[in-house]
Each structure stands twice: as C-alpha cells, then as structure tokens.
Amino acid sequence: MMAAPSRSNPAASQYHPVLRALFVRPYPAVMGVLNITPDSFSDGGRFIEPELALAQAKRMIAEGADILDIGAESTRPYGSKPVTADEELQRLRDILPAVAGLGSPVSIDTMKASVAAWALGNGAVIANDVWGLQRDPDMARVIADHGAPVIVMHNRDSVDPAIDIVADMVAFFARSLDIAANANIPQGNILLDPGIGFGKTPEQSMTALARLDDLSRFGLPLLVGASRKRFIASVTPSEPDQRLGGSIAAHLLAAQRGAKVIRAHDVAETVQALRVASAIEDKR
C-alpha cells in the first residue's frame, strides 16, 4: 500500500471551534441526515416542503443530533439526476436558514462551490463535499475564505472490484489534503469520510469499514456514514428502511475504530446505541 505523506496531527486546541465542541465526549457525535430532494435513495421526496423539513430538523435535534447535514441534490451512486446550482439553491433558500436558526450546527452537503458559498453565508457552518475538494476547482477556496470545517469524502467515478480500495482511499485523501493545504485550509478544519457506498462494491464498503484504522495515518478525525447503505442488503437482503440493525452494527464498529462523527438517518436509535456502547465500555 502506498504511504501517505507525513502530516501533523492537530492538537485538540487546534480544531475549529465547531469541531472541538463535538469531540468532548467519549462517543462520536451524530450527524442527522436531512435530504430535501425528490430522489435520495432512502428518504427522497419526504422533506422537500419547508414545513416538513423544519419539523424533521426539530425532531432530529430532540433525538440527540449534534449536527444537521442538509443536501439538496441526491448523490446516490445509482439513479440520481444531476441538478443545476440554481435548482439546488432554490430548494435550499427557504429551508437552510430556518434550520440554522434552530441553533444546532448545520452542514451543507454539496459538490458545487457556488452552493457551498451561499450556504456558508446563510447559516451553514460546515461544508460536506462528496468529491473531497477534487471535483469543483473553486471549492477549496470557498471553504478557506469562510474559515469553515470541511468533510472530505472519498469517491470514484466508477466501481472497480479489482482494486485495493483502502490504497485508493489513501491516495485520494493525500491529493485532497494537498489541495486543502494549497488553499490554506487548516488541518484542524478537516474531517475525512471513507465514502461508504460511493465508488465501491458492497465488499469494498465493508473492507473500508473493517480497515478504518488504516486512515489514522493522516491524524485527522473520521466521519462515517453507513446508514441504510446497500452493502447491508448484500449481507441480509433488505430495503433501505429495513436496514437499521445493519446500520447500527456498522456504526458501532466504526466508533470502535476511532470515528468521531456518525452520519445517520435514524438519529434516536443511533444515539442510544452509541451511548450504551460507551457506557458498557466505560465499565472495563
């Protein structure tokens, strides 16, 4: 496996204040998913209307979500339809500022720099880029200009069952971190996401989770989103809304391997599982 460049591990005091506040507990923070899209793989179409989106945001906060991740374009690996920046912004305009007004940190899930710029200027405090700063050439600059934390996710244009997926992730993240450094994004503002289900076979997604420790070489906090993903159905055939057990199993293993943030649709159940696992571990 190729080696990653040597990078400094940010001390806790060097993390962006938004991230520092999330990392004070012995178990991971939970990021609640709020898709305001018609075609997301699990909950597409449920929260497009502003009042429904706001109600869902309030529900997730009450259930224990530490962050709300709002996406207005589906990035599902199969069957999603690209939308223009104007359409993405139209979906966000009446929802994102209202959700940000609830007081919990909001992340904008977008691959477009122009959308990230608008969102970060209208209440979002974190950028979540499913292409890890490598798709829109202006994304790193926008994030640096706003001084925002960024979630750098691994992705691929196509699935290749023959590759070592962990080596691919390591090389991808090395490129992303070079882009971030060139844009003067501080190391303490960066989280890495292995991109479970993106550009991977189900087996590769499980390998990425099993070998999450391999990403510790970068010395950066990890975010894992295995919620309702297709690899679960490869083990036990199921529809997305029938994958809660598999999602929790994957997230508990991710937490054991050092994940600092868990991205989930089922907030209450995920929070309960993480807290109980942490309480049991504390008795050791």
Tell me if residue 95 falls in helix, strand or coil. Answer: coil
Please give the Cα distance from 116 to 145 (Å, whole number).
11
User: Is 200 noted as a catalytic residue in this protein?
Assistant: no
Catalytic residue flag (residue 229): yes
Paired strand residues for 71:
35, 109
Spell out the residues 6+ positions from residue 229 whose beta carbon is closer than 8 angstroms to its own: 196, 197, 205, 243, 247, 250
8 A C-beta contact, residue 224 and residue 261: yes
* Catalytic, out of 91, 228, 229, 260: 229
Q: How many CB atoms lie within 10 A of CB 63?
A: 16
Tokens found for residue 137 = 């050439």
Residue 265: CA count within 13 A, CB half-sphere = 21
Q: Which residues are catalytic?
A: 229, 263
